[in-house]
Amino acid sequence: MTRTPVNVTVTGAAGQIGYALLFRIASGHLLGADVPVSLRLLEIPQGLKAAEGTAMELDDAAFPLLRGIEITDDPNTAFDGANVALLVGARPRTKGMERGDLLEANGGIFKPQGKAINDHAADDIKVLVVGNPANTNALIAQSAAPDVPADRFTAMTRLDHNRAIAQLAKRTGAQVSDIKRLTIWGNHSATQYPDIFHAEVAGKNAAEVVNDEQWLADTFIPTVAKRGAAIIEARGASSAASAASAALDHVHTWVNGTADGDWTSMGIVSDGSYGVPAGLISSFPVTTENGSFEIVQGLEINEFSRPRIDASVQELAEERDAVRALGLI
Ligand code: NAD
Ligand code: LMR
């Protein structure tokens, strides 16, 4: 195999998502089974030793596609020549921390990382922000990278998308592979809106198959939107393997394209479509082809959906205003 390896940078590499993610990147699940990768692992100084342990295990797995591993605590080194960047490391909310404190602490991470991407990444850089609050962290990084096209900065709502597909499959007795055109709108938070009105179950309109608005409002939407909290409650730790899997899905779809007749959900910089103020990083239905994506246009937004989309977008606008007031964007 003579292809040049793709440089993939993963931040927070010693964390629990990092541990679930790196082995699958190295075995071809991020970009494809024939694409060699070179990994750059970014950690804070306290995380370097654990990242070295993970790198030892990556060596021991003898992945044919893995062409190199570099570990660093310097963002400028980590993003040098990066083609794909997975920004996973973030500051979790700790006891007594207000939302503003959390945004500020994450600004201290994502602003310098955005600048390092701006100054050092490859021209074709694609960025996925996983670390929470993902949409606003992506906005902070994107704002610090004026020389990189804004559409290269994305936030992860694919986990929500996958969760919604799984719940809809359970309810309808369909296979997950029978479900298409589902949409997550808005923020990766409890205000997100999983929309089945344009979705299909085995070729039939999903809302008509379900035919139960009360189930949608009282069961489906809260189950999907609060699934992260339910996992934390059950596992005693936030979702890791499913989050890693969704990160792989997000980038794989971005690079390799959506299937004909289907779309996915990605947090992307709004162009004003569907009344989402331009510049916010909000989740939309998108199709992807040849490494680019487009918002699916022309969907009719009904009376059930409109206020739910607006509420999540309003939360994003408030987060944007808060980080603006902190001088982070
Ligand atoms: P974790 O605490 O296990 O790991 C985080 C790692 O990031 C730690 O090793 C830490 O040392 C590192 N880190 C912190 N600051 C860093 C920095 N400035 N540079 C590099 N590394 C840094 O957390 P986790 O379970 O792996 O989750 C990571 C993030 O992903 C959290 O913010 C979590 O809330 C978020 N998350 C998002 C989704 C989503 O769907 N968008 C889903 C699950 C989790
Ligand atoms: C998730 O959706 O599982 C996570 O974003 C939850 C969290 O707060 O880490």
Ligand 1 geometric centre to CA of 47 (Å): 11
Burial of 120 (0-12, 13-18, 19+ CB in 10 A): middle
Mean pLDDT, residues 9-23: 98
Q: Ligand nearest 229 Cα, by number? A: 2
- pLDDT of amino acid 3: 85
Residues in contact with ligand 1 by the CB-under-6-Å rule are: 11-12, 14-18, 42-44, 47, 88-90, 92, 109, 130-132, 134, 156, 159, 188, 238-240, 243
pLDDT of residue 87 exceeding 70: yes
Residue 2 pLDDT grade (very low, low, confident, very high; cuts 50, 70, 90): low
- pLDDT of amino acid 91: 86
pLDDT of residue 99 exceeding 80: no
Instruction: Please state whether beta strands 153-155 and 66-72 pair in parallel, antiparallel, or not at all (unpaired).
Output: unpaired
Instruction: Specify whether 252 is catalytic.
Output: no
Q: Ligand nearest 102 Cα, by number? A: 1
- b/e sequence 139-178, b meaning 16+ C-beta within 10 Å: bbbbbbbeebeeebbbbbbbbbbbbbbbbbbebbebeeeb
Which tokens in the block code for residue 279? 């510049």
Ligand 1 probe mutation, 77, 88, 136, 159, most atoms within 8 A of CB = 88
Least confident piece of the model among 85-99, 128-142, 210-224? 85-99
For 278-316, write each residue's pLDDT tens digit: 999 999 999 999 999 999 999 999 999 999 999 999 999
Ligand 1 geometric centre to CA of 199 (Å): 31
Q: Where in the chain is the domain with CATH 3.90.110.10?
A: 158-319
pLDDT of residue 180 exceeding 60: yes
For 47-80, write each residue's pLDDT tens digit: 999 999 999 999 999 999 999 999 999 999 999 9
Percentage of the chain surpassing pLDDT 90?
A: 95
Mean pLDDT, residues 3-27: 97
CATH classification code of 6-155: 3.40.50.720
Query: Per the annotation, where are the binding residues?
Result: 12-18, 93, 99, 106, 113, 130-132, 163
Amino acid (1-letter code) at residue 195:
D
Q: Where in the chain is the domain with CATH 3.40.50.720?
A: 6-155
Ligand 1 probe mutation, 111, 132, 251, 266, most atoms within 8 A of CB = 132
Residue 8 pLDDT grade (very low, low, confident, very high; cuts 50, 70, 90): very high
pTM of the model: 0.98
Mean pLDDT, residues 176-189: 98
Residues in contact with ligand 2 by the CB-under-6-Å rule are: 132, 159, 228, 231, 238-239, 243
- b/e sequence 20-51, b meaning 16+ C-beta within 10 Å: bbbbebbbbbbbeeebbbbbbbbbeeebbeeb
pLDDT of residue 95 exceeding 90: no
For 263-281, write each residue's pLDDT tens digit: 999 999 999 999 999 999 9
Percentage of the chain surpassing pLDDT 70?
A: 99
Structure ipTM over 0.85, yes or no: yes
Mean pLDDT, residues 20-38: 97
Least confident piece of the model among 65-69, 120-124, 230-234? 230-234
- pLDDT of amino acid 194: 99
Mean pLDDT of the chain: 96
- pLDDT of amino acid 102: 87
Q: Ligand nearest 15 Cα, by number? A: 1
Indicate which residue of 29, 161, 188, 250 is catalytic: 188
CATH classification code of 158-319: 3.90.110.10
Residue with CA at minimum distance from ligand 2 atom 3: 228
Ligand 2 probe mutation, 238, 245, 250, 265, most atoms within 8 A of CB = 238
